[in-house]
Amino acid sequence: MSITKDNIIASKLPSHIAIIMDGNGRWAAQHGNERIFGHEHGVESVRSVVEGAGEVGVKYLTLYAFSTENWSRPKEEIDALMGLLVQAINDETDKLKEKNVRLQMIGDYESLPADVQKKLDWSINELKECDGLTLILALSYSARWEISEAMKKIGRKIQSGELKPEEITKELIDKHLATAGIPDPELLIRTSGESRISNFLLWQIAYSELFFTPKLWPDFRKEDLFEAICDFQSRERRFGKTSQQLVS
């Protein structure tokens, strides 16, 4: 029996899902093509997943699109990825507006090429009144970069006397991260069969449920998202308590 969105229990819906979209290069190789061919086909997966997340009522969807480590790839792949990003944002913004999707980015904005910055600013502004799904693109992002930035901000506040070291709490750290104001993802999905986090949201996924699928990103569709949500809903999230405590 295949899983559809009717199998999803509305009251147990994760409010935030994060996805490590991996496997584009391998998908392209399987199809006898260059890596960029896989990235191009990955855009359709993004479209489908954004649509699916909106349909079931997920509030936040974070997509890991480019890591700080990805800057070490060949220049022509980086250029092609950045070009694809500009094109996709340009082509999809109207449709996102129709679907009431807001856009946000997390990552080292300053390191992005000027045309990517410009297109992002434009799209974020176009979609700022939307209040359905919030789509968060992680671009030139890594968790260790994000945590270092947060520590710098906190350090400066201590130096200026605005903050005391004793006032550093989990909540205070949350507020200084790129994801300030966004709930932690309850569910983290990674495609392509790799079982690693690759420097994604290390602080925020402390208690996330992890879902690894062998599917390569260009083959991933909203039905796969629904399957991951159903799997998530079948799990017992204990947060350190015993099973018995949760029942009573």
Rounded distance, CA 136 to CA 182, Å? 10
Active site residue 7: no
Q: Are 61 and 17 in contact (CB under 8 A)?
A: yes
> By CB under 6 A, is residue 21 in contact with ligand IPE?
yes
> By CB under 6 A, is residue 144 in contact with ligand IPE?
no
Q: Are 190 and 199 in contact (CB under 8 A)?
A: no
Rounded distance, CA 121 to CA 112, Å? 12
Rounded distance, CA 105 to CA 32, Å? 33
Piece of the chain touching ligand IPE by CB under 6 A; list 19-27, 116-124, 176-184, 239-247: 19-27
Specify the residue, 22 or 184, whose C-beta has the smaller distance to Mg ion.
22
> By CB under 6 A, is residue 185 in contact with ligand IPE?
no
3-state secondary structure of 179: coil
CB atoms within 10 A of CB 138: 26
Piece of the chain touching ligand IPE by CB under 6 A; list 22-30, 84-92, 165-173, 239-247: 22-30
Piece of the chain touching Mg ion by CB under 5 A; list 21-29, 96-104, 172-180, 240-248: 21-29
Instruction: Supply the minimum distance, in Å, between the C-beta of residue 88 and ligand IPE.
Output: 13
> By CB under 6 A, is residue 196 in contact with ligand IPE?
yes
| Torsions phi, psi for 171 (to 5 deg) | -65, -40
> By CB under 6 A, is residue 26 in contact with ligand IPE?
yes
Active site residue 22: yes
Rounded distance, CA 134 to CA 222, Å? 16
> By CB under 6 A, is residue 154 in contact with ligand IPE?
no
> By CB under 6 A, is residue 22 in contact with ligand IPE?
yes
> By CB under 6 A, is residue 233 in contact with ligand IPE?
no
Token code pair at residue 137: 């693109």
Specify the residue, 65 or 116, whose C-beta has the smaller distance to ligand IPE.
65
**All residues at 6 or more sequence positions from 88 whose CB lies less than 8 Å from its CB, including other chains:** 43, 46
Catalytic choice (33, 70, 108, 174): 70
Of 24, 23, 21, the C-alpha closest to 225 is 21
Residue numbers of the site for ligand IPE (CB under 6 A)?
A: 20-26, 64-67, 69-70, 81, 192, 194, 196, 198, 217
Q: Catalytic positions, please?
A: 22, 70
Residue numbers of the site for Mg ion (CB under 5 A)?
A: 22
